[in-house]
């Protein structure tokens, strides 16, 4: 049997070029496998071979609309039967790029595509309805589990086997009509009876879980309001005294800015690992506007700026962790009679 041809899309990090400092890498292609492609190739070797790898830096892809066309042309040149993107885990820009590439491959080239991401990666919600996006862990530490999970879906597609999102571990793409012996009303009653009896049952129509937050009331008079700053941009005093991680942060920091008029270079920096830190380190006010809020304080436009700001890193940080930090920060803000919060990211 002739093996199917597969192309693998990865970012600059997994290509071994570098991290954030190389995120502007322009698209290029190479024959064969690189990075995680070596392991994936071994897991699909009975049915296929990764004949080529296409690489693009995360920043370049997300900042240049023409990048998708460049990548598609390179993928096309290998004449693939299927395309794999990632796994991107919880890396947001990588996930968005992988999802965009996989979607374009299906819609424009008519070729099946498989990606891999963590459930909180923004690429999942943006693109899960088109490509197969296999659920992975939060970070590359789960690579050994991600590779066989993605390879399973790839092998089933290539051998034309039936796929199921529950058993094969990918995010549900779209619903299909099906026929059963029992009509809907009977199936619904059967589920209700099982639920009332405390028995296990499976719904045929799982509802999405929306996390809606009711907006707070507008501040009636800002000139009397106490304002605080909370950021996921990772701004910390120089040296990062609390050792907040550059990705998947396990903590947040609370920092005193009493009497601080401006966040000067060398005194403050960013701990964030998901963007180029040069401009934030040069002037941290670009991430948290202490200088502007001090001006408004002096001009009487706001009552006062809270003496502390709160900072963590949003890069790869789990939603559950972020909610826990928010609860602690909110309690502290209430205890200090803060009226409103300026929330900034990167």
**What are 63-102's pLDDT values in tens digits?**
899 999 999 999 999 999 999 999 999 888 899 999 999 9
Q: Could you give the CA distance from residue 193 to residue 206 in angstroms, rounded to a whole number?
A: 18
pLDDT band of 208, cuts 50, 70, 90: low
Backbone angles phi and psi of 175, in degrees to 5:
-95, 150
Indicate the domain borders of the chain.
4-168, 222-344
The pLDDT value recorded for residue 184 is 86
E strand or H helix at 235, and its extent?
Answer: strand 235-237
Backbone angles phi, psi at 126, to 5 degrees: -70, -35
Per-residue pLDDT band for 204 (boundaries 50, 70, 90) equals: confident
The confidence band for 19, taking pLDDT boundaries of 50, 70 and 90, is: confident
pLDDT of 322 reads 86
Residue 147 has pLDDT above 90, yes or no: yes
Query: Mean pLDDT in the chain?
Result: 92
Q: What is the mean pLDDT of residues 231-249?
A: 92
- Assign domain 4-168 one CATH number from 3.40.50.2000, 1.50.10.20, 3.40.50.2300, 3.40.50.740: 3.40.50.2300
Which pLDDT band holds residue 232 (cuts at 50, 70, 90)? Answer: very high
Rg (CA), the chain: 24
For residue 37, the model assigns a pLDDT of 96
Judged against a pLDDT cut of 80, whether residue 209 lies above it is answered with no
For range 309-327, the mean pLDDT:
87
**Residue 86 · residue 154 · CB < 8 Å:** no
Q: What is the per-residue pLDDT for 276? A: 83
Residue 227 — φ and ψ, nearest 5°?
-110, 140
Percentage of residues of the chain with pLDDT beyond 90: 76
Least confident span in 149-153, 163-167, 221-225: 163-167
CB 73 within 8 A of CB 39: no
Using left for φ > 0, alpha for ψ between -120 and 50, and beta otherwise, residue 240 falls in: left
What pLDDT is attached to residue 125? 86
The predicted-structure confidence for 279-299, as pLDDT tens digits, reads as follows 999 999 999 999 999 999 999
Structure tokens at 174: 């779209």
């Amino acid at each position: 049997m002739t093996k199917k041809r597969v192309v693998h899309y990865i970012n600059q990090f997994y290509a071994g070029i570098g991290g954030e400092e190389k995120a502007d890498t322009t698209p290029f292609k190479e024959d064969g496998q690189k990075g995680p492609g070596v392991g994936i190739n071994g897991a699909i070797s009975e049915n296929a071979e990764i004949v080529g790898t296409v690489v693009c830096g995360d920043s370049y892809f997300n900042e240049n609309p023409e990048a998708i066309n460049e990548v598609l042309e390179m993928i096309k040149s290998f004449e693939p039967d299927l395309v794999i993107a990632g796994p991107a885990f919880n890396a947001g820009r990588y996930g968005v790029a992988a999802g965009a590439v996989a979607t374009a491959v299906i819609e424009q080239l008519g070729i099946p595509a498989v990606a891999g991401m963590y459930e909180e990666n923004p690429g999942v919600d943006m693109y899960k309805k088109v490509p197969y996006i296999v659920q992975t862990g939060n970070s590359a530490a789960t690579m050994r589990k991600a590779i066989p999970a993605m390879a399973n879906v790839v092998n089933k597609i290539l051998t034309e086997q039936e796929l199921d999102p529950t058993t094969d571990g990918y995010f549900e793409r779209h619903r299909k009509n099906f026929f059963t012996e029992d009509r809907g009303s009977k199936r619904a009653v059967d589920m209700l009876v099982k639920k009332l009896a405390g028995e296990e049952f499976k719904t045929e129509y799982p509802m999405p879980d929306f996390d809606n937050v009711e907006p707070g009331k507008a501040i009636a008079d800002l000139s009397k309001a106490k304002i605080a700053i909370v950021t996921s941009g990772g701004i910390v005093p120089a040296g990062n005294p609390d050792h907040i991680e550059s990705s998947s942060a396990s903590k947040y920091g609370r920092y005193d800015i009493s009497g601080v008029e401006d966040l000067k270079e060398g005194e403050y920096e960013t701990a964030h690992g998901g963007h180029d830190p040069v401009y934030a380190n040069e002037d941290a006010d670009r991430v948290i506007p202490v200088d502007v809020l001090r001006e408004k304080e002096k001009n009487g436009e706001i009552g006062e700026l809270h003496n502390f700001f709160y900072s963590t890193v949003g890069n790869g940080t789990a939603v559950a962790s972020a909610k826990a930090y928010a609860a602690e920060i909110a309690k502290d803000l209430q205890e200090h009679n803060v009226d409103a919060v300026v929330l900034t990211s990167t």
